[in-house]
Amino acid sequence: MTTVLGAPGQAERSLGGVRSRELAATYGTPLLVIDTMVLDANLTRFADLGSKHDIDVTYAGKALLLIALAERIGRTPLGLDVCSLGELTIAERAGVPANRIAFHGCGKTDEELQAALDGRVGRIVVDNREELDRLISLANAEHTLSILLRMNVGIEAHTHDYVRTGGEGSKFGFAPDALEATIAAILAAPGLQFVGFHSHIGSQIFEAESFCANVRELLGLVARARALGCEVGEVIAGGGFGVGAHPNDQPLDLESTIAAMQQALTQEAQRLRVPVPQLGIEPGRAIIADAGTSLYRVVAVKRIGSRRYAIVDGGLADNPRPLLYDAYHHPELAAREDGTLSTAPLIDTTLCGRSCENDEFVTAPLPEDLRAGDLLAIYTTGAYTYSMASNYNRFPRPAVVFAGNGRHRLVARRETLEDLLRVDVPD
């Protein structure tokens, strides 16, 4: 489902069947464009894989959550993960039924715990003992909240590798040795139903075996709970399905990965002689990343020594991923202002944002005659860009649009200077 990339610089790029110049002229830049044809194909793919392999699929809203997107998720069979009252409120405004929403996060406030107890979500994934104790103190026999325990199973996954870390490499979840005492505390508490275990081992994982190892670890926990007389109906193996960022990247084979996870589940359940629990997954990036493309206007092109720099009208504030994770986002000349095409040879160009940081996006081949006013497309920016955007340098957040079948519409308007000032309290 990756974005189709043509020969760089040869023709005006369209997104969702809409010419990039039309999008930039209508909404301005920087602009996040979500191709709804790609998004819907990704949603359908996960829904189909879920039903084919009997796996519950929940979209991890932290990747990107807007009311219009949550509405679209609501029209699929997928669930929705939220990890703050902000995300929960978006889900509610979009009309997603509470029983399809799960509450995540590793430092939930009392207000968030109360929201879960009040029935605003179907289930909560508890991260630590303090959170559990606060939840227990807020709960009473009138409540019927389903609880999963986030477990730190000691697998830390990297892109093409996974290592067992004994759990020390990550802050998330309960250490496995806390399992018995934690389950006993839940079983003794009124208003809480223990339903299962959760483990998310990382993001951008391309190795199916990492996901399978996680499933097997979860089954080991199921067996330990069973020894305490506690039947576990569900295990959720998190998200993390890798998405290629460079046109030459080998995509993760989702179908075989998900089939392998289901097979690991049944085989391990058989080996440990426990009933096969329901398996769940929580993809975020794999649903939204390749549906998103950012459009930027080039504001300056300059040479410093042997390097050529192009500065665009966005950067760190709307996409911190290159600086934070060294993430790659593929750039292309999308269009020139006058509609002409560039046939110039491509030369290495370092794309930078306009913030007061060395916010280099990427160094990649771009037309030698690149100039101010040119429109650049930066691909695979649907996940963890807008949702991680800031107002650094007091830049307003960009607009977000849906584009598909040649039509487009605004789903988040660009912030204004008034938006930026609305929280300031003068002396």
Contact set with ligand LLP (CB under 6 A)? 60, 62-63, 104, 200, 203-204, 238-241, 282-286, 321, 325, 383-384
Q: Which is nearer to ligand LLP, 104 or 224 (CB)?
A: 104
Amino acid at 94: A
Least distance CB 426 / ligand LLP (angstroms): 35
Least distance CB 331 / ligand LLP (angstroms): 17
Amino acid at 400: V
- From residue 182, how far is each of 12, 135, 195, 224 by CA, in Å? 58, 13, 13, 12
Catalytic residue among 83, 106, 352, 356: 356
Dist. CA 244–CA 14, nearest whole Å: 20
Q: Which is nearer to ligand LLP, 29 or 203 (CB)?
A: 203
415 Cβ neighbours under 8 A, 6+ residues apart: 391, 396, 397
Least distance CB 341 / ligand LLP (angstroms): 33
Dist. CA 67–CA 425, nearest whole Å: 29
Tokens of 246: 């460079």
Residue 352 annotated among the catalytic residues of the structure:
no
Least distance CB 204 / ligand LLP (angstroms): 6
Q: Which is nearer to ligand LLP, 236 or 264 (CB)?
A: 236
Least distance CB 1 / ligand LLP (angstroms): 14
Dist. CA 415–CA 421, nearest whole Å: 11
Q: Which is nearer to ligand LLP, 218 or 335 (CB)?
A: 218
Dist. CA 418–CA 427, nearest whole Å: 18
- From residue 309, how far is each of 28, 312, 335 by CA, in Å? 23, 10, 19
Q: Which is nearer to ligand LLP, 187 or 325 (CB)?
A: 325
Omega within 30 of 0 (cis) for the link into 97 = no
Write out the catalytic residue numbers.
356
